[in-house]
Amino acid sequence: MKITVPSSKKLSSVPDEDVDQWGSRFLMRSEEDLSFPHHPQHSKWSSRGWCKPAYIPISIILIMIILVVLLPLLEQSENWNEKLKLDGLSCQNSCRISLVESIPEGLTYPPEAPKFPSTYDTWNQLINISQSSIEIAALYWSLQGADVYPHPSAYQGEDIFKNLLEASAERNIKLRIAQNSPSRDMPSPDTEELVKKGLAEVRSLNFARLLGGGVLHTKFWIVDRKHVYLGSANMDWRSLTQVKELGAVIYDCPCMANDLLKIFNVYWDLGTEEAVIPPRWPQTYSTEFNMVKPMNLTLNGVRANTFLSSSPPPFCPGGRSGDGDTIVDIISKSEKFVYISVMDYIPMMIYTPRPKYWPIFNNALLAAALNNTVNVRILMSSWNHTRRAEIQFLKSLEEVSGSYKNVNIEVKLFRVPATPDQQKIPFARVNHNKYMVTDNAAYIGTSNWSGDYFVDTAGVGLVVKPSISNRKKNPLPIRDQLQSIFERDWNSPYASRLSDLSHNDISSMFLDQTTNLNYF
């Protein structure tokens, strides 16, 4: 900032020579002056002192000029410090977190098995407690049975859609939706209805224009800027009754909600027709929370470090950890085990015109198993749309087991049973989970594990770790619970060891290899 000081003649009647004296004696005091500060001749009121009465007006005026210039800056700094204090306080709030599941009809566990709130109940609760706003990022919307396939089990999705309509129409809840651009293969009739009725603001992201490919694969809710849901469930009635899903809900946590809102705002602002991805995102989109500096929260009474990761890299403003980098970091910092439950696992880019090798996660898992003797378990889904290449890559990973002492990589395939009636429902009866749990971290994401989802497709991840102070003293319940879900599924009759399956067993899995899943 350039500051212009008026001429001294206009400020005072002090002669020029006095001003020169003031300048030479105040600004350039000699070594002799500084050596004897208490000598009478150096008194500040003496003839050689720097506080002659004639200099006082100039001093006052200069002080006033400095104050005029600096006070606004000091006030701005004070406001900024106060903002940081408020942000810090909001992060100190005691938040509640719970795992959330959709268990498909007909898939049962023993009574003593871990059980958590359903996605349907959780979404309904979020709608019911909303007071001002609901903001949702989703791949597509098909909550009504007529959207996909008429079936009695569509009632839960239809109920969610009805409750969202009523929340907007009757309680004036502001509903904002960011979604992938609808297409013939992936329409969103529900959001069309919401817009026609004037009950929601909807923006659609055109990834072909923005990035040349990919989709908005994210699935999360932000309610009143303080409650959050994030997980694998699409805004689809099948995700409530016919597909196995896993997510997390966090209540009364404005710090987390507002950080997730920054990701939503990236989607929202890229959802206009003229939008382009900026070479550098403005500061308002940036975050201070990431894998290096997580937010420290109290979750269910226990201190924890947590942050949100995002993909693809061009959608990550300053400070935001990339989703792929986050997964690799969690694997590399595991000490005892890495358990992964995903619909797809393949070290390839599979949605590009020509498949490309993408070994990032494969390398991380091999390094963990071979270098650190970490026990690796992968529970991948088996359904009509499983790719043969996935099985072959998983076999190659499993072959590494036993190559050296204490090297252990195990693979199982999880298959959701289906009746003849349920088999008629398209793209259903599958384990759609996308999470990882290690001995020191819980990760819940929205992406399948192939390279495309971390290069040009939008997704988010929630990471929760014990705080440094609590790591040895107190366990982290949410991590323990996620591990219990994995072990429940791993040891269930629905999971089969890949090594135990015959060639005929594997061949029978691939009933439909012609359909393009289009990032289901």
Annotated catalytic residues are 217, 219, 224, 432, 434, 439
End-to-end, the C-alpha distance of the chain in Å comes to 54
- Return the structure tokens found at 276: 């382009």
Measured in whole angstroms, the distance separating CA 55 from the mean position of its chain's CA atoms is 61
Residue 301 main-chain phi, psi, to 5 deg: 85, 0
DSSP helix/strand/coil, 448: coil
For 113, 233, 236, 410, 479, the CA distances from 241, given in Å and listed in that order, are 19, 11, 10, 29, 25
Q: What is the DSSP string of 487-514?
A: HHHHTSTTEEEGGG--HHHHHTT-S--S
Residue 113 main-chain phi, psi, to 5 deg: -70, 150
Do you find a cis peptide bond into 312, omega within 30 degrees of 0?
yes
**Distance in angstroms (rounded) separating the CA atoms of residues 152 and 15:** 97
The residue type of 108 is T
Angle at 495 between CA 493 and CA 501, to 5 degrees: 110
**Distance in angstroms (rounded) separating the CA atoms of residues 398 and 482:** 23
